[in-house]
Structure 1
């Protein structure tokens, strides 16, 4: 049986995926995601020769601009989370979804999620609740 609702609480480097039933009384942590590359500075990313996502210092490309490398990693993480939500739909794991993320990353998520996920999007909030304890999340994210 599908969960009534999934709640994705994310920022550009960390996310937590919760599920709850119709009454939304008890939230269960389903998965946690970490994207360490998003936490690194662009210069650190460029200096990693073994990183397949690193830019090329010898070529003047947009990904070698000061913040472009980090933005690229943020976008990769947004797509990873969007793919997870898509798999949830394919598995019939949830009926509706709520997303809470800081404004810039929320914009990336909105672009990355499929129309199928968008149809199930009940609410999206511009807020970073990744550090908020699970017991405090229900009072910050209105589900009713």
Structure 2
């Protein structure tokens, strides 16, 4: 539980590496009412479904010793790319003046990716960050989780 006070018309991004929910608080800080503005979903199959090549090998120097390279984690790479896509969507909305305050809710890895990808026009509007995965919850439950104190 976070105990956040989210002002009227603030935007709330609830995301993870595969889904992003954009809300606007139509209520007030005491009685939030999240209206869904947009949903972005990114199909991200498992790494085994995306990459079929076997890991590469490299020569470790003179002689015949060779080491296997680590296999590329395509699933995680797609999560990083999706965070950039979400950050770009928020930049366009911020640049158009559609929001002045933003609450970001995401698991730690996604939160870090978003921080790196946010343009200063977006990061200057972030009023709170919550490191939770809430994309599977309906809006009324997200409202309750974010506004209820421990």
User: What band does the TM-score fall into relative to the shorter chain?
Assistant: 0.7 to 0.9
Relative CO higher for 1 or 2, CA cutoff 8 Å, sep ≥ 6?
A: 2
SS at match of 1:141: helix
Q: How many residues align?
A: 128
Which of 94, 103, 107 lines up with 1:102 in the alignment? 107
Q: SS in structure 1 opposite 2:48? A: helix
Q: Which aligned pairs between 1:42-57 and structure 2 lie closer than 5 A? A: 42-47=47-52, 57=53
Query: CA–CA distance in 1 between the matches of 2:27 and 2:17?
Result: 29
**Post-superposition shift, 1:67?**
5.2
Alpha-carbon separation, structure 2, partners of 1:107 and 1:67: 20
- Greater Rg by CA: 2
TM-score using structure 2 length: 0.76
1:74 partner SS: helix
- DSSP-derived class of the 2:9 partner: strand
Matched with 2:23 is 18
**Do structure 1's residue 114 and structure 2's residue 91 form an aligned pair?**
no
Relative to structure 1, is the Cα distance of residues 34 and 19 closer, same or farther in structure 2, using a 3 angstrom cutoff? same
Per the alignment, in what secondary structure is the counterpart of residue 10 of structure 2?
Answer: strand
Per the alignment, residue 50 of structure 1 pairs with none
Unaligned runs of 5+ in 1: 48-56
Whether 1:125 and 2:130 are equivalent positions in the alignment is: yes
Partner Cα separation in structure 2 for residue 110 and residue 116 of structure 1:
12
CA change 1:20–1:10 in 2 (3 A) is same
Question: Structure 1 length as normaliser, TM-score?
Answer: 0.78
Decide which structure has greater helix share.
1
Pairwise CA RMSD = 2.4
Quote the residue 2:82 is aligned against: 77
Secondary structure of the structure 2 residue equivalent to 1:12: coil
Structure 2: gaps spanning 5 or more residues: 1-7, 58-68
